[in-house]
Chain A
Amino acid sequence: MTNQDYLLLLLGMALVTYLPRWLPLAFLSRRTLPPVVAEWLDLIPAAILSALLAPILLTSGADRHLTFLRPELWVALPTFLFALKTRSLGGTVVVGMALFWLAGKLL
């Protein structure tokens, strides 16, 4: 890949990444949304974070089969409780990493 090809690729990636980030902010913030849409958007953060997280914890392999045996899942339980108790993002990142590291040493 030449330098110019690489730059063009980056510009393409930048454009298709930026537009979905910008369009709703530019247009939705200018209008009052119907209550049902606002209610739906209010649930989006909880839904999307859970949708990102669940397959990481509960599936394995290229075929993404269901499993309850991943250390990622078992470390998630105390990490979740710590986050619930402290509501500290920095603390949770440190504790989660430490527990996962320990799990790797012990298992």
Chain B
Amino acid sequence: MTTDLKQDLRQGMAAAWPICLGYAPIGMAFGVIARQAGLTPLEIGLMSALVFAGSAQFIAVSMIASGAAALSIVVTTFIVNLRHLLMSSALSLFVKNEKKGRLALFAYGVTDESFAVNFSKYRETFWNTNRSLTVNHAANLAWIASTVAGGYGGQYIPPGAFGTDYALIAMFICLLVFQLNGARYVLAALMAAALSVGLAMMMPGNLHIVLASVLAAAAGVIFRRKLS
């Protein structure tokens, strides 16, 4: 292994471990719920490996438990995960001239968390695809392992123990802080928060997240162009 690659792996792991830490309790909780819905640990691991999308998996499992049709589960998954279209678009700013195969591999690991970590790393420091792929796949392995572990023995851990319910929220808070690098980002975030809450109250489902982000970012661009 070259020293460059070693360095990339080390930097990638240093950026990834907090994501893995946050995934552990959430993944275990998912495993427990999926088990109660009748899935075996193997089926749980397969879903985590093939889909790799936390909130969509929680929703899918509750739909399976209530006997929903496969097509409606797939459509719901699509809508819940549509926000990744925006994330991959934003990440595309940084991966110019990358090989198609590596981009295809990178795409597999684009989640809310890896996206936010990689995006701020690309902006702030030297960051390359080896490092971002390390982040994505370390997070992926942690997710698969913790969901399967939850499927095996998660019921012995009381739900919410040690504040684990807050792991994802704390992660989002810090990832948001990483993005607030100036007045226009703060403004976009505030507008997105207000829009998202407003839309969430008015409409069921998860489209409020995508709608609020698209509109708030657009408003941010318009304000900036008007002012300058």
Contacts and interface: CB of A to CB of B under 8 A. Distances in A.
B86 interface: yes
Nearest to A55: B200
Interface of B: 17-19, 21-22, 43, 46-47, 50-53, 56, 60, 64, 70-71, 73-75, 77-78, 81-93, 95-96, 98, 100, 103-104, 106-108, 110, 112, 115-117, 119-120, 160, 162-167, 169-180, 184-186, 188-197, 200-201, 208-209, 212-214, 216-218, 220-221, 224-225
Contact of B160 (A28, A39, A52, A104): A104
Secondary structure call for the B interface: helix
5 contacts: A10-B47, A16-B77, A17-B81, A20-B81, A89-B171
A96 B175 contact: no
B56 A17 contact: yes
A33 to B, nearest CB: 7
A76 B193 CA distance: 14
Contacts of A10: 46-47, 50-51
A46 B172 CA distance: 11
Given A18-B107, A43-B217, A76-B173, A93 B22 contact: yes
A23 B74 contact: no
Interface in A72-107: 72, 75-76, 79-80, 83-84, 87-90, 92-102, 104
Please name the 9 residue pairs, one residue from A and one from B, whose CB atoms are nearest each other, closest first: A96-B170, A101-B163, A100-B166, A97-B163, A54-B193, A90-B18, A22-B107, A89-B18, A28-B92
Contact of B93 (A5, A8, A11, A33): A33
Interface residues of A, number: 74
Given A10-B46, A13-B51, A57-B169, A44 B217 contact: yes
A26 B116 contact: no
Given A17-B51, A104-B160, A46 B176 contact: yes
Contacts, number: 284
B166 A65 contact: no
A6 B188 contact: no
Nearest to A56: B169
Contacts of A51: 192-193, 195-196, 208-209, 212-213, 216
Contact of B176 (A6, A7, A17, A49): A49
A42 B189 CA distance: 12
Contact of A96 (B82, B166, B179): B166
A17 B195 CA distance: 25
B60 A13 contact: yes
Contact of A50 (B47, B51, B108, B193): B193
B60 A18 contact: no
Contacts of A9: 60, 64, 70, 73-74
Contacts of A95: 170
A39 B224 CA distance: 10
A49 B172 contact: yes
B169 A72 contact: yes
